[in-house]
Structure 1
C-alpha cells in the first residue's frame, strides 16, 4: 500500500484541528478537494478513519493509529530532506583560518563551535601556523582570517585589529616550586625540570626565537604536542611549564605566576586577507571576537 505524503500531511492537520475545513486551510486546499483526498485515503486503507459530526470530525481507532504513524513518517522525511540538503547546499569554498597554538587551545574551538552551528552552509579549514607563515598565507590570499601575535606583525600592511591579551605565565603543581613566589623570570624557571611543547609548535618556535642562543638550557622531562597535555602534566607535578595565561583554567591544583621577562607580554591580533572580506568572513571574525572575550 502506497501513501501520498501530502495526503498524510492533510490527515494529520485534520485530526489535529478536528475539522476538515481547518485541515484544508492548513494545506491551502479547497474544502471539496480536501474532502476528496480524505475519502480516497479511507478507500485506500479499507477502513473508516474519521467520524463525521455536526461540529467537526474525530478519528476512529484506525484513524488515531494512522495519524500517529503519519507524524513519524513526516518527521523522518523532514530529517531526510535536511540531511540531503546539507550536500546540495551552495558549495562555496571553505573559509580558511590560520592561527598559532595558543589561540587553537580555546579561542578557535569556541569560535568554530558557534559559527558552524549558526552557518551550516559554510565550512572552515583550520591550520596551525606561526605568525610569519600566517601573514604570508593571508598576503597571498590563501587564507581568509588569521590570529597572529602582535610583535611579529608590526610591519604588515594587512588589516589587523586587537583581539586579546596573550601574555605567557609559568605554571606548576599547587604547593610546589611556585608556592610563595609572586613572579619568576625564565632563567629561574629553567633551573627546574620542565615540560615543553614540540619543537615544531608555533609557541615553542616563538619562544626559542626570543630566548636566543645564550638563554639557559632547561631540562625538559618531555616534549608534548598540545597545550592541553602540557597543562595536564604541569598540574600533575611533572615539572614547570610556560603557557599563555588565557589557555589555563583557574584550578586549585595549579599555581600560576607571571613571568618577569619583557618578551612574555604579548597580544593577539585578528588579521584579514588582502581580499575584501565576504559576509561569511565577517561573521567568522565576529564569532572569534566573542570567543576571545
Structure 2
C-alpha cells in the first residue's frame, strides 16, 4: 500500500524537476522529502529518479510510476468531490511534542484551557525525548514542541522559557530524606527506588547521565506516568527522581535537590517550520499553564 503523501510528493518532484522544489510545494522539509522518496523507491523495488547536478528526472520506471500516481490522485480527488456536500467543515489540527515531565501537569492544564475555547481546532500529542522532538520540529512534522533548553545555546528568550524542570529526589514524609537539602544520585541509588518505564524520555535521561558512575539501584516498580511514581513514593515504596514542578506541595513529601550538574534543566517552547492557524493561541495557553505551575512551586518554596 503506497502512502498518498508519498504519491503527491513524487508528482510534485516530477513537475518541479527537483526534490527541493517538490518538497516546498507540499510543504515538507528537504530531509523528510528525501527520506520519503528513498522509501518510495525501496517499496517499488526500482530506481524511479535519476539524480543529477541540476535536479532529478524520472527513469523509464519513474515515468510509468508517475503516470499511475497521477491517475490515483485524480481518482481520489473525484471521491472527495462526490462526498463533499455531505462533509462537515474539517477542524484544524495542531501537533505538540513534549517529554514526560511536561505531559504530567503543564500540557493537560493548557489543553483544558485551549480546547474549551477553540472548538475549531484539534490537538494531537506526541511524547518524545528532546532530541526526537527537535528533529520532528526541524522536519516540519509537528507544530509546537516543549524541549529541554541546551545550555550551549545561552539563556532562552523570556517568551520561550516555560518552567524550571530541574530534577529533585522525593521520598515519603519522615523518611530517609528528612532534613536533607541536597543529595547525590550515588547516595540515592543505595535505597529502593521507583522509576518510569524504560522508554520514557526522563528515564532514558537518568540512565544516560548516570551510566556506571553510581550503584545499580533497586527499582521496586516502574510506572507509565510521573503521577503514579509520586503516588508510589508517598506510599513509602521507595525514592524517586522527578522534575520539581510535578510535585504537588500539598502531598507533604520530602524533597531534596539532586546534586548533579545535569539535574538543572529548563523547559522551553519551540515552534515548527510552518505557521498554522491556532499555533500562537496554543502557545499562549502553554505559557499560561507554565506560569500557574511556576506559581505553585514558588508557593512551596
| 1:178 aligned partner | 177
Equivalent in the alignment of 2:69: none
RMSD between superposed Cα atoms in Å: 1.9
The residue number in structure 2 matching 1:285 is: 283
> Residue 246 of structure 2 corresponds to which residue in structure 1?
247
Q: SS in structure 2 opposite 1:97?
A: strand
* 1:174–1:253 Cα contact (<8 Å) kept: yes
Could you list the per-position Cα deviations for residues 101-121 of structure 1 after superposition, in whole angstroms to 9, with x for gaps in the alignment? 000000000000000001011
Stretches of structure 2 that go unaligned for 5 or more consecutive residues are 1-85, 292-301
Q: C-alpha separation between the residues in 2 aligned to 1:119 and 1:89? A: 17
Aligned match of 2:38: none
Cα deviation digits, residues 182-239 of structure 1 (max 9, x gap)? 2111111101000011110010111211112333211101111110110000011000
| Correspondence 1:90-169 to 2 at 5 A | 90-151=89-150, 154=153, 161-169=160-168
Structure 2: distance between partners of 1:128 and 1:94: 17
Taking the aligned partners of 2:199 and 2:164, their CA distance within structure 1 comes to 23
Describe the SS at the equivalent of 1:120: coil
Please tell me whether residue 222 in structure 1 is matched to residue 221 in structure 2. Answer: yes
List gaps (5 residues or longer) in structure 1.
Answer: 1-86
Q: Which protein is bigger by CA-based radius of gyration?
A: 1
TM-score, with length taken from structure 1: 0.65
Equivalent residue of 1:142, what SS? coil
1:88 shift after superposition: 6.3
Does the CA-based 8 Å contact 1:192-1:218 persist in structure 2?
A: yes
Distance of aligned partners of 1:90 and 1:154 in 2 relative to their CA distance in 1, 3 Å threshold: farther
Per-residue Cα deviation, 1:60-105 (whole angstroms, up to 9, x for no partner): xxxxxxxxxxxxxxxxxxxxxxxxxxx9663144100000000000
Equivalent positions of 1:188-267 (< 5 A) are: 188-251=187-250, 253-267=252-266
Q: 1:249 and 1:90 mapped to 2: Cα distance?
A: 41
Matches of 2:166 and 2:237, distance apart in 1: 23
SS at match of 1:163: strand
Deviating beyond 3 angstroms after TM superposition, the runs of 4 or more aligned structure 1 residues are 87-90, 152-155
Count residues with an aligned counterpart: 202
Pairwise CA distance, 1:286 = 0.4
User: Counterparts of 1:262 and 1:239 in 2: how far apart (Å)?
Assistant: 23
- Aligned-partner Cα distance in 2 for 1:153–1:127: 26
Going from structure 1 to structure 2, the CA distance change for 1:153 and 1:127 (only over 3 Å counts) comes to farther
Q: Deviations over 1:112-165 (max 9, x none)?
A: 00000010110000010111111111111110000001138949xxxx922211
| Cα separation, partners in 2 of 1:124 and 1:153, compared to 1, 3 Å | farther
